[in-house]
Amino acid sequence: MSTRTSIHGAWSGRLAFILAATGSAVGLGNIWKFPYITGENGGGAFVLIYLICIACIGIPIMMAEVMLGRRGRQSPINTMQALAEEASASPYWKYLGWSGVVAGLLILSYYSVIAGWALAYVFRTASGVFTNVTGDGASSLFGRFIADPEKLLAWHTLFMVMTMAVVARGVKGGLEKAVRFLMPTLFVILIILLGYAMNLGEFSRGVAFLFNPDFSKISADGVLSAMGHAFFTLSLGMGAIMVYGSYLPANVSIAKTSIIIAVMDTLVALVAGLIIFPIVFANGLEPGAGPGLIFQTLPIAFGHMPGGEFFGTLFFVLLVFAAWTSSISLIEPAVAWLVENRGHTRVYAAVVMGIVTWSLGLLTVLSFNLWSDFKPLSGISVFENSTLFDLLDYLTANIMLPIGGLLIAIFVSRIMTSDITMRELNIQDSQHAGYRTWQFLTKYIAPAAVVIVFLKVTGIFDITVIFNAILG
């Protein structure tokens, strides 16, 4: 094990790390994004590719990130610099840390706006506006809400202040305690909603939509979205899990904890899908409705079920908390770096990074109203209808995170010695089957998958040629 220690403190133990990392992983990505991008990409085939990416790319890269963080014990930028030095590799590896910091701030800039929607919906649900609402009613309420930039800005501001407040205090004090209570409660509410969805009559259509793969419905870009989402939902490729790993006690098993986190994250996403699609079909809504999907569907469920005001309010409260425990991990790499390299206090660092992110968030706020017709890359066919928000999402989730993940996989499998990686994974025998699998996945499969998908999307390389060759 490395003998470094982190100047920022440490988690109190394995459970605290699991909760914090699960808190980072489980967020808007699972409950808001997974259902709507699944809807946009035609369902089952997308879900299957996403699940394969989680297992073959996500889990090995999560192990890699935790390992790098725990060995480096610093912000991702300084960790990459220290570990590159240790391996006598190029100092340019620190730019991998930099790209993570930038990706984190870009993601948080739009993440906070959507979390603001969830905050607004806490109060809307509590006030009873959704009682007996119809599908059209819920859609028009949502449409009017996002058309108002001042409202979106106010909620975005509130959410950024909440994020800054926690990060300023340090992760351990408030957060560790909060997630311990919140994550289980979120699970319970999801199960209650699942019970509601199961009784809707359209449950089997929802199940079929999620689990019957129809590959004719998926494009190369859909495959890229599935892979990008695997990184996004597990918080990989930008140093969030790395920075959390840097606070991890030395004796915790990296493989086991990574698998637990990935499984919990996947379960939450699938349950969210099983709740939302039956409601979509039962109310004649469009699965491809886009980012507003859960805000247009769930209010219908809450508006009709007994105790809906209560459960609905609780649900959006929990969604806010899920987003909150993710947003702090999005900004933590930048904050840790400012503290380490510039000697600022956490409070100062959190405020500076918060203001930068808040300002960037204006681009997303305006994308839904005043600038909704501004499609800067409309000349390129995949971006024909993309607003600034869509482009930010695409750039981070589909490009920056997979490239970050690719480089992380290369670093642990080709730059670090197996001596060190075996020690960090607590493996004595280099022929250990689990270790060999991990090495194979990080050395060949994960990098190849990312490269092939990129080539395919850019049209340089046609993967169907390989499929056809294999299938005869």
Where on the chain is the footprint of ligand PFF (CB under 6 A)? Answer: 24-25, 27-30, 104, 107, 232-233, 235, 238, 240, 326, 329-330
Residue 68 or 133: the one with the smaller Cβ distance to ligand PFF is 68
- Spell out the residues 6+ positions from residue 399 whose beta carbon is closer than 8 angstroms to its own: 228
Q: Which is nearer to ligand PFF, 66 or 220 (CB)?
A: 66
Q: Rounded to whole angstroms, how far apart are CA atoms 268 and 297?
A: 17
Measured distance CA(309)–CA(126) in Å, rounded: 6
Please, what is the minimum distance in Å from the beta carbon of residue 142 to ligand PFF? 20
Indicate the residue among 107 and 223 with the shorter CB distance to ligand PFF: 107
> Based on CB atoms, which residue is closest to ligand PFF, 312 or 405?
405
Nearest-approach distance from CB 333 to ligand PFF, in angstroms = 8
Q: Which residue number, 266 or 326, has a Cβ lying nearer to ligand PFF?
A: 326
For residue 392, give every residue at least 6 positions away whose Cβ sits within 8 Å of its Cβ, in sequence order, or none: 106, 109, 110, 363, 364
- The burial class, CB within 10 Å (0-12 / 13-18 / 19+), for 352 is middle
For residues 197 and 181, give the distance between their C-alpha atoms in angstroms, rounded to a whole number: 25
Which residue, 133 or 171, is less far from ligand PFF as judged by CB?
Answer: 171
Q: How far is the CB of 468 from ligand PFF (least distance, A)?
A: 35
Closest distance to ligand PFF from the beta carbon of 110 (Å): 11
**91 CB-contact burial (10 Å; exposed 0-12 / middle 13-18 / buried 19+):** exposed
Instruction: Please say which residue, 74 or 329, places its beta carbon nearer to ligand PFF.
Output: 329
- Least separation in angstroms between CB 326 and ligand PFF: 4
For the bound state, the minimum distance from the C-beta of residue 103 to ligand PFF, rounded and expressed in Å, comes to 8
CA 257 to CA 264: how far, in whole Å? 11
443-453 in b/e form (b: 16+ CB < 10 A) is beebbebbeeb
Nearer to ligand PFF, 83 or 238 (CB): 238
Residue nearest to ligand PFF (CB): 29
What residue has token string 């250990």?
Answer: 432
Q: How far is the CB of 154 from ligand PFF (least distance, A)?
A: 22
Choice between 107 and 409, CB closer to ligand PFF: 107
C-beta of 103 vs 120, nearer to ligand PFF:
103
d(CA 239, CA 83) in angstroms, rounded, equals 14
Would you say 104 or 303 has its CB closer to ligand PFF? 104
CB of 246 to ligand PFF, least distance (A): 14
Give the E-state strand segments of 45-170 in sequence order.
Answer: none
If the CB atoms of residues 45 and 323 are measured against ligand PFF, the closer one turns out to be: 323
CA pair distance 228, 241, nearest whole angstrom? 16
Joined tokens for residue 391? 């482009």
CA dist 388 and 386 (Å) reads: 7
387 close to 375: Cβ distance less than 8 angstroms: yes
Structure tokens at 153: 């800005």
Q: State the burial class of residue 348 (Cβ atoms within 10 Å of its Cβ: 0-12, 13-18, 19+).
A: middle
CB of 444 vs ligand PFF, minimal distance in Å: 25
3-state SS class at 433: helix
Tally Cβ neighbours within 10 Å of residue 129: 16
Minimal distance in Å, beta carbon 433 to ligand PFF? 30
SS3 category, 55: helix
The answer to whether residues 107 and 334 touch, using CB atoms and an 8 Å cutoff, is no
Q: How far is the CB of 283 from ligand PFF (least distance, A)?
A: 25
Which amino acid type is present at position 295?
F
What distance in Å separates the CA atoms of residue 277 and residue 297, rounded to the nearest whole number?
9
Smallest separation, CB 365 to ligand PFF (Å) = 19
